[in-house]
Structure 1
Amino acid sequence: MFRNVLRNILSRNVLFIICVSVIFGFINFYVAGHDANVAVSVSKEFLLSLLMPFLTSLGCFLSPIFVPFFLLFALFDFYLAYKYGLVTKSMLQAIMGTNTHQAISMVSSVSILMPIVLLLVIVGMVVLTWKCVRFRPVVLLVTGVGVTVALHAGWKHSHRSNVERQNNNIAEMAANLRIFLPGVVGDFVYMTGLGMSDDNRPAIPHTQTDPAIIGTAEGRRKNIILVIGESAFADRHTTYGYTAQNTTPAMKTMADKGRICVVRQAHSAANMTRVAVPMLVSFYDPDHQGALYAEKNLVELARDNGYRTFWIASQPGRGEYSRTFGYVSEFSDYVTRQDYNNATSHVNWRDESLLPVMKEKFADPVSQKFFVIHLMGSHESYSDDRTEEDIRALPDADSYDQSLHRTDRILQQIITMADKELGDYTLVYISDHGEIVGQGHGIQYGGYDQYKVPVYILDRDRHYCDMAEGMRNNYGYYTSLMTKYLILDMMGYDIDPEYIKNIQNHDRVLHSDGKVYDYKSIPRR
């Protein structure tokens, strides 16, 4: 009798269940301890950890499908928690919002063999699971009850605490459910909700104007160009004192000649594109996160004051991650992105593809024009964001520096075309956020590199260069939140000085954990 029990315990099936359950359980507890904005509950974490023994008891047909999938997802979730310190909503949104090119690019940046290795691991796990599992109704029943209890408790709490959002989209419901489902299961539920959601609300004109605007006059600048970069770290720009490589020769020459001004000690108000870009083109900011969908944005205000508006982007504008700025773009008189109104424009993820469209639209005969040009810039993988010309120019540089050199060339081409087609114009270039070179951005304990951004202003009389300098806060920083007020002044709008003073007195940023901090106090280990 004892020998039979021992043989049963040591059977391949039981050992497999124990091994994968222990691995999954450890990962689940680890991830739960590193999930941002999640209610910690040891009992729920334990019950949700029963998911793996539940899946291993489904039998040789279903288990080989679900066990490898959830185990790989758990390992991926563990990697996020380990590398970035916290698994945040914004991080998961970024992953689900990554387009095909970016996903392939980022995977290949780790190793060209990674997709092959990943495929072999999946096949191996499927075969191992098929050989080791068998249908176990008792284990299935017991563990199924435990998981169901945890899921029901999470649903009940989320439903009770989120009454006002019950009729909203599935991504919001999944986000609130994640709060009460700590660990791998909660993250999986949220990412599934993101995948199922189509939060592409239509760009219906707003009627409410932000109270910061106290008056309107005739536009002060005939043509306005806002160029939004991507993942540009100011300290790697030659114009900001970087000497290892000449990453920005064109901007450096223009700065030396006084053609552009360089706004130093500038930082973004967020470290992720999804929230950083809307802060440049709407009244959305760390302390007014409802303004994006409630008030007129800069595109609408430009149209109200007689400007024809254009949004030209190599970045997409649909999906949970990019919809915030995609939403704003669709208020424009003309918009083209790689995923919108692109049949004749042929725009793709390469910034060079925007140049023919810009040339055509710069020549539009209307007297007043407002352009937003949203670049792919230096998004990972950096090797995709350079050309042979940049490699030849900086043969000893790393791929990130070469990508900055490429953006410098793009800016020079934009300025050359604007000189020819527009004549009278003012241009502002600012990156959405900075970059921790080699790691990325949106990293919970990543520090300030992911906030430090370059800002260039080209203005005929340097009026807006001086205005930007006067907008520095009490610590001497220029925050990206001021950019919208520069643009609005160009459009002819008068801004209540108290709003400027409030930003100067309270240097606030929206961090990757979704919390608001003073810039000097962002989380550090």
Structure 2
Amino acid sequence: MKLPQFIQRRSNALILLLIYIFLSSILAYIYVIDDGYFRFSYFLIILSTTFCLFLFVHILIKSRHHFGVFIGTLVLFLLLSEVSYLIYFGEVISEGVLNSITETNTYEAFSMLKLVLCVTVPALIVTIGILFIYKKFITVKFRPILPLTCYLAIAAIFLSAGTLVQNDTHEEYKLKSLILRKFYPAVLGNVAYLGATYLSTDVYADTSEIEVFNDAVILPPQNLNDDLVVLIMGESSLVSRYSAYGYPKPTTPLMAEIFNQKNGGCIINNSHSSASMTRDSIPMSLSFSIPESNDNLFNNKSIIEMAKYNNYKTYWLASYRQYIEGTANAKFGFIARKSDVLDFTDKDHDVNLSELLERYLKKDNAPKKFIFLHLRGSHQPYSDGYDEIDKQALPDAENYDLTIHHTDRAVKAIYDVINKYSRNYTIIYTSDHGEIVNLGHGLSKGIDQFLIPFMFISTNNQFDCQFIESFRSSNGYLSGLMNKYILSNLLGYQIDQFILDKEKNNDRILLPGNQNVLFLDFLKLNKQP
């Protein structure tokens, strides 16, 4: 016997509602746990907003208006893309990843296309499948009053919470959208945060000189004999893949020779980056920005400006794949644009960066120079980071190891140019962050994305291996947060010892979700068996 039609419709509606509640519960639980611990009240809020999102998608897809169907399909695709990202990486999309989407150059955007397709293509296929099912087989319709009322009620909570947040003149939009993202993590929060990030990049456009020195800096600076200080910044470089650190394949024979102690060099063990993303780590190396706040980026002189104050001519030279365009790469571009010279190679590989360096050293007779060299390094896709010479040298090596070998050749070429034009120099080679090989970086888990090389050589006897070791934390690690202090000394500045010791022994890192944690705590949680 057939059930009356209205009872059957109500039964179908109830089944759909239960399905939506079940799916919302799973997502809400994941979002809440991603914060580190379970809070039932927060779970209920996320459950409510996510459940409303499912209802909105249903209502829009079943709409008679094409525009409504289009919006519903788009929201469904974005939601499924977030789910696909969660399945692929094992975690929800972080603020750091969203920041990087709006702060990237054209090359990096295209270089990540394969990864983007791995996330979006499955989402698109499932979206089309769901759309077909809903159009052909689902007849249930819901009224928008329930989800709309719930959304507005939670929005009122959001607005009241937003008024309690003190406005940061540099990132006001992002602070408020961050609260929105906490309450509406599915689609709406991420889209709002992306928009806020895009609107916030104008704070990085100011190239006027900052007058104030950080409190740690002791004035006046000294006039040192070094006429050339060079920081070579690698990219996505995992220290355990360096033969100079014990890796069995000969990936870095040239750097092992250059930075050998017999030459007065240092190959420093147990070094880690301050963050797992370029946009965060480079500012914390070249300014007094810290994991807790970006305020010092805007309020204190950067290393570039400090070098200029002490009569160093400053250069920012980089692979064209690290090109800074407009507000792209905005956060570290804010520092780069303060340089006297900002230039990029016009050739594919890092080994050609030495030619750009030689061009400037050959024609420029400035007595003192500070040069920042930014490599393309081992950024994905790895197949773009090496050439035939690397393949011939290591015929059986995987792509990532070949990128390390190419970096080895690039550093050697740079070193040879420096030796050709200078007899008084100091060189640091390190990396902005490490890499979880074949997965990437900027993830909330995985220690490999923080473990980096640090190599040093100086013709100035004042700056030896013990000088670098003096910046090591009591936990046994040298942090990327120390780069700014090391460079300050190399450029003639003394640092307040009390402030330095406090920073040195408070060894923390910035995670992509904008949380800062002690490095040893993160190491213990992510230690490989």
Do Structure 1 and Structure 2 share a fold, with TM-score over 0.5? Answer: yes
CA distance 1:51–1:482, change in 2 (3 Å): closer
CA contact (8 A) 2:81 2:120 kept: no
Q: Using the alignment, how far apart are the partners of 1:358 and 1:517 within structure 2?
A: 38
Deviation at 1:309?
A: 0.6
Q: What residue number does 1:335 align with?
A: 342
Write the letter of the residue equivalent to 2:337.
E
Residues 430-450 of structure 1 show CA distances to partners (whole Å, capped at 9, x for unaligned) of 11122222222233232x322
Superposition pairs of residues 350-389 of structure 1, within 5 angstroms = 350-352=349-351, 354-363=353-362, 364-389=364-389
Superposition pairs of residues 81-160 of structure 1, within 5 angstroms = 81=86, 83-85=89-91, 87-108=93-114, 120-121=125-126, 123-124=128-129, 127-128=132-133, 131=136, 136=141, 139-158=143-162, 160=163
Deviation at 1:290?
A: 2.0
Q: What residue number does 2:477 align with?
A: 477
Write the letter of the residue equivalent to 2:338.
F
Q: Using the alignment, how far apart are the partners of 2:122 and 2:304 within structure 1?
A: 46
Q: What residue number does 1:5 align with?
A: 6
CA distance 1:238–1:96, change in 2 (3 Å): same
Does residue 240 of the first structure (1) align with residue 237 of the second (2)? no
Deviation at 1:401?
A: 0.7
Deviation at 1:498?
A: 2.1
Q: What residue number does 1:283 align with?
A: 288
CA contact (8 A) 1:48 1:185 kept: no
Q: Using the alignment, how far apart are the partners of 1:478 and 1:280 within structure 2?
A: 13
Residue 25 of structure 1 aligns to a residue in which SS? helix
Q: What residue number does 1:187 align with?
A: 190
RMSD between aligned residues: 3.3
Deviation at 1:44?
A: 4.8
CA contact (8 A) 1:34 1:81 kept: no
Q: Using the alignment, how far apart are the partners of 1:87 and 1:122 within structure 2?
A: 19
CA contact (8 A) 1:32 1:184 kept: no
Residue 164 of structure 1 aligns to a residue in which SS? coil
Q: Using the alignment, how far apart are the partners of 1:157 and 1:325 within structure 2?
A: 31
CA distance 1:19–1:388, change in 2 (3 Å): farther
- After superposing the two structures, state which structure 1 stretch, 75-84 or 401-410, moved more: 75-84
CA distance 1:130–1:419, change in 2 (3 Å): farther
CA distance 1:476–1:32, change in 2 (3 Å): closer
Q: Using the alignment, how far apart are the partners of 1:401 and 1:465 within structure 2?
A: 27
Q: What residue number does 2:450 align with?
A: 451
CA distance 1:211–1:127, change in 2 (3 Å): same
The one of 288, 312, 317 aligned to 1:312: 317
Write the letter of the residue equivalent to 2:417.
M
The one of 40, 45, 48 aligned to 1:46: 48
Residues 367-389 of structure 1 show CA distances to partners (whole Å, capped at 9, x for unaligned) of 11111111221122222222222
Write the letter of the residue equivalent to 2:266.
C
Deviation at 1:22?
A: 5.4
CA contact (8 A) 2:105 2:324 kept: no
Q: What residue number does 1:342 align with?
A: none
CA contact (8 A) 1:86 1:444 kept: no
Deviation at 1:391?
A: 2.0
Q: Using the alignment, how far apart are the partners of 1:254 and 1:504 within structure 2?
A: 28
Deviation at 1:249?
A: 1.9
CA distance 1:504–1:141, change in 2 (3 Å): closer
Q: Using the alignment, how far apart are the partners of 2:132 and 2:388 within structure 1?
A: 44
Deviation at 1:518?
A: 2.4
Q: What residue number does 1:207 align with?
A: 211
CA contact (8 A) 1:217 1:493 kept: yes
Deviation at 1:202?
A: 0.9
Residues 73-120 of structure 1 show CA distances to partners (whole Å, capped at 9, x for unaligned) of 223323444535454322322344344443443342698x88766665
Deviation at 1:27?
A: 5.4
Q: What residue number does 1:173 align with?
A: 176
CA contact (8 A) 1:230 1:375 kept: yes
- After superposing the two structures, state which structure 1 stretch, 479-488 or 32-41, moved more: 32-41
The one of 55, 59, 81 aligned to 1:57: 59
Does residue 397 of the first structure (1) align with residue 397 of the second (2)? yes
Structure 1 portions without partners, runs of 5+: 338-344
Residue 40 of structure 1 aligns to a residue in which SS? helix
- After superposing the two structures, state which structure 1 stretch, 325-334 or 390-399, moved more: 390-399
Q: Using the alignment, how far apart are the partners of 2:240 and 2:289 within structure 1?
A: 27
Deviation at 1:26?
A: 4.4
Q: Using the alignment, how far apart are the partners of 2:18 and 2:112 within structure 1?
A: 31
- After superposing the two structures, state which structure 1 stretch, 117-126 or 370-379, moved more: 117-126
CA contact (8 A) 2:223 2:492 kept: yes
Deviation at 1:274?
A: 2.0
Does residue 68 of the first structure (1) align with residue 73 of the second (2)? yes
Residue 147 of structure 1 aligns to a residue in which SS? helix
Residue 266 of structure 1 aligns to a residue in which SS? strand
Residue 62 of structure 1 aligns to a residue in which SS? helix
CA distance 1:166–1:228, change in 2 (3 Å): closer
Number of aligned positions between the proteins: 510
Write the letter of the residue equivalent to 2:51.
S
Residue 370 of structure 1 aligns to a residue in which SS? strand
CA contact (8 A) 2:251 2:405 kept: yes
Deviation at 1:427?
A: 1.0
Deviation at 1:168?
A: 5.4
Write the letter of the residue equivalent to 1:32.
Y
CA contact (8 A) 1:283 1:292 kept: yes
Write the letter of the residue equivalent to 1:387.
D
The two structures have a TM-score, normalised by structure 2, of 0.85
Residues 374-423 of structure 1 show CA distances to partners (whole Å, capped at 9, x for unaligned) of 12211222222222222222121111111111111111111122222334
Residue 430 of structure 1 aligns to a residue in which SS? strand
CA contact (8 A) 1:307 1:370 kept: yes
CA contact (8 A) 1:64 1:127 kept: no
CA distance 1:397–1:286, change in 2 (3 Å): same
Q: Using the alignment, how far apart are the partners of 2:517 and 2:301 within structure 1?
A: 26
Q: Using the alignment, how far apart are the partners of 2:326 and 2:32 within structure 1?
A: 28
Q: Using the alignment, how far apart are the partners of 1:28 and 1:513 within structure 2?
A: 18
Does residue 218 of the first structure (1) align with residue 217 of the second (2)? no
Q: What residue number does 1:294 align with?
A: 299
Write the letter of the residue equivalent to 2:448.
D
Q: Using the alignment, how far apart are the partners of 2:422 and 2:432 within structure 1?
A: 25
Deviation at 1:189?
A: 2.2
CA contact (8 A) 2:429 2:454 kept: yes
The two structures have a TM-score, normalised by structure 1, of 0.86
Q: Using the alignment, how far apart are the partners of 1:71 and 1:494 within structure 2?
A: 56
Write the letter of the residue equivalent to 1:204.
S
Superposition pairs of residues 239-258 of structure 1, within 5 angstroms = 239-243=244-248, 245-256=249-260, 258=263
Q: Using the alignment, how far apart are the partners of 2:373 and 2:15 within structure 1?
A: 54
Deviation at 1:54?
A: 1.8
CA distance 1:168–1:110, change in 2 (3 Å): closer
CA contact (8 A) 1:302 1:309 kept: yes
Q: Using the alignment, how far apart are the partners of 2:179 and 2:464 within structure 1?
A: 43
